[in-house]
Amino acid sequence: MIAALADVSLIGRAAMRGRIECHGLLMSGARGWEARVPHGMVRFSETPESLCDADLVIVAVKSAATAAAAKQIFDLAPRRALVVSFQNGMDNVSQLRSRLPYNVVLGAMVPFNVVQLPDGRLHRGTTGDIVVEDHPRWQPWLPIFRSAHLPLRVCSTFREIQWGKLIFNLNNAVNALSGKPLRTQLTDRGYRLVLAAVVEEALDALEVAGIQPAQLGDLPPERLPALLRLPNAEFAQQGGVMENIDARARSSMWEDLEAGRFTEVEELNGAVVRLALGQGREAPANAKLCALVHAAERGGERHIDARSLLDHLALHGPSLHA
């Protein structure tokens, strides 16, 4: 636990405070790792006063709350504090830097999925190491994160890492609209055909923009659409594709819809739409997913089956179950 080597304070919503008071801070991983901190030992506040003596500030709010978080950090945190964005999307680091001119602000990419389970557990459902933007200020923190089972990999090509992560995050909207666990959703060829279409649009826009997204796993990003389009039997035979996804894992966008919160779809699929438009192109599948998620935020259609989702995106192709 980080708390064993550093004083940790959490700032969050009342709902999370209630979970911790009821269950303690219970964490687990896909490979059997588990840790519990009794609620009396967790420093948790709904207000930001603990920023006043912070040496490291981890920003993990949704992108829509970045500006508000930056104001609190500017007003309360010392200028010596290292500020790190552990957020999805492409623009949060630049937003924080523009609002925090006196602090060092760095980016971090979290490759794994975390789901909140009914027993109060925060469960890590997929694998991978956190990648952080290269800077000397990381040096004293590396052993602390490593001891907490969260090793940090320092990278000098962070923008490419961000785009590589965003490509995988394009599934968040598909998963949220399906209403299914990630493993179940990805075993359905229909949903994979949707995901292949939005990934292909992203890759096309990135190529025109001259950006090479980083390879985060065993598969180069440009090979992902072909893999997703494989018939179910062939897809199931691809070693490592599904084995690192816990059966309980879901996307954070699904959790947002379940909780009645606005999502980050504009920072994910919307980023592809904006990149394509900047190159004089379109990304209609990503644009349609944005519209469907926004409709779901307002109480519209959810738990959409694969055939219907393909019809929404006007994608017509091979058999879904071949």
Q: What is the C-alpha to C-alpha distance for residues 110 and 157, in angstroms, rounded to an integer? A: 15
Q: What is the C-alpha to C-alpha distance for residues 204 and 119, in angstroms, rounded to an integer? A: 42
Q: What is the C-alpha to C-alpha distance for residues 8 and 148, in angstroms, rounded to an integer? A: 12
In 251-317, which residue ranges form alpha helices assigned H by DSSP? 252-258, 265-278, 284-297, 306-312
Q: What is the pLDDT of residues 194-231, one digit of tens each?
A: 999 999 999 999 999 999 999 887 789 999 999 999 99
User: Which of 5-9, 138-142, 236-240 is the least confident region?
Assistant: 236-240
Given a cut of 50, whether residue 7 has pLDDT beyond it is yes
Which segments of the chain belong to CATH 3.40.50.720? 2-156
User: CB of 51 within 8 A of CB of 80?
Assistant: no
Given a cut of 60, whether residue 58 has pLDDT beyond it is yes
Mean pLDDT of 103-107: 97
Tokens of 182: 């990630």
pLDDT band at 243 (very low <50, low <70, confident <90, very high): low
> Between 243 and 57, whose confidence is greater?
57
Predicted local distance difference test score (pLDDT) of residue 2: 45
Please name the residue that has the structure tokens 């894992």. 249
* 161-312 topology per CATH: N-(1-d-carboxylethyl)-l-norvaline Dehydrogenase; domain 2 (1.10.1040)
pLDDT band at 192 (very low <50, low <70, confident <90, very high): very high
Given a cut of 70, whether residue 318 has pLDDT beyond it is no
Q: What is the pLDDT of residues 124-173, one digit of tens each?
A: 877 788 999 999 999 999 999 998 888 999 998 899 999 999 999 999 99
Given a cut of 60, whether residue 1 has pLDDT beyond it is no
pTM over 0.75: yes
Predicted local distance difference test score (pLDDT) of residue 322: 58
- The continuous run of DSSP H or E covering 315 comes out as none
**What percent of the chain has pLDDT above 70?**
94
**What percent of the chain has pLDDT above 90?**
67
Hey, which residues does 121 pair with through a beta bridge? 26
- The continuous run of DSSP H or E covering 171 comes out as helix 171-178
Given a cut of 70, whether residue 319 has pLDDT beyond it is no
pLDDT band at 241 (very low <50, low <70, confident <90, very high): low
Other CB atoms within 10 Å distance of the CB of residue 40: 8
Which segments of the chain belong to CATH 1.10.1040.10? 161-312
Given a cut of 60, whether residue 88 has pLDDT beyond it is yes
Please give the CATH number for the structural domain made up of 2-156.
Answer: 3.40.50.720
Given a cut of 50, whether residue 3 has pLDDT beyond it is no
